[in-house]
């Protein structure tokens, strides 16, 4: 079991930036993947970005490419999501999760989840 705790959410105006963090504790495997997901009210949870722990290779949903950057600090067991050029449509609860690397942006492939951190972007 892995415990994940997100932080860094908040309210910003369109065009602003936020940096989310996800502190992980517990047993993880080097070939795990870590991901960021989001869910807006009334919408299905969707994958935002994911990273392979072993290689550090990042993967992004098309709607965040060029704006968001996922990174990890393995020494600190912490996952990050730098979000720039935020848009009102980025408003959602953001979750980090741990899972296999079969389908990187598919939330059903992830087993361990944090409690989420709210991101609100105003126009």
The rounded radius of gyration (Å) of the Cα atoms in the chain is 13
DSSP-assigned letters across all residues of 6-28? EE--EEEETT--EEEEEEEEE--
Task: Specify whether the CB–CB gap between 77 and 17 falls below 8 A.
Answer: no
**Per-residue pLDDT, 29:** 79
- Quick check: 96 and 25 in contact, CB under 8 A? no
CB atoms within 10 A of CB 65: 10
Q: Please report, in tens digits, the pLDDT of each residue of the chain (123 residues total).
A: 899 999 999 999 999 999 999 999 987 777 889 999 999 999 999 999 999 999 999 999 999 999 999 999 988 899 999 999 999 999 999 999 999 888 999 999 999 999 999 999 999
Q: What is the pLDDT of residue 94?
A: 98
Q: Single out the residue of 25, 92, 32, 89 nearest to residue 56, CA to CA.
A: 32
Task: Please give the Cα distance from 74 to 65 (Å, whole number).
Answer: 23
Instruction: Judge whether 21 and 114 are in contact, CB under 8 Å.
Output: no
Task: Determine the pLDDT at residue 30.
Answer: 79
């Amino acid at each position: 079991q892995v415990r994940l705790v997100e932080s860094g959410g908040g309210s910003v105006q369109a065009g602003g930036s936020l940096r989310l963090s996800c502190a992980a504790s517990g047993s993880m495997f080097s070939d795990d993947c870590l991901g960021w997901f989001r869910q807006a009210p009334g919408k299905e949870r969707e994958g935002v970005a994911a990273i392979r722990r072993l290689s550090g290779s990042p993967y992004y949903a098309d709607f965040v490419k060029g704006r968001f950057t996922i990174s990890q600090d393995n020494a600190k067991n912490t996952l990050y999501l730098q979000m720039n050029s935020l848009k009102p449509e980025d408003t959602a609860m953001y979750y980090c999760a741990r899972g296999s690397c079969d389908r990187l942006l598919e939330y059903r492939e992830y087993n361990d989840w944090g409690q989420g951190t709210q991101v609100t972007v105003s126009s």
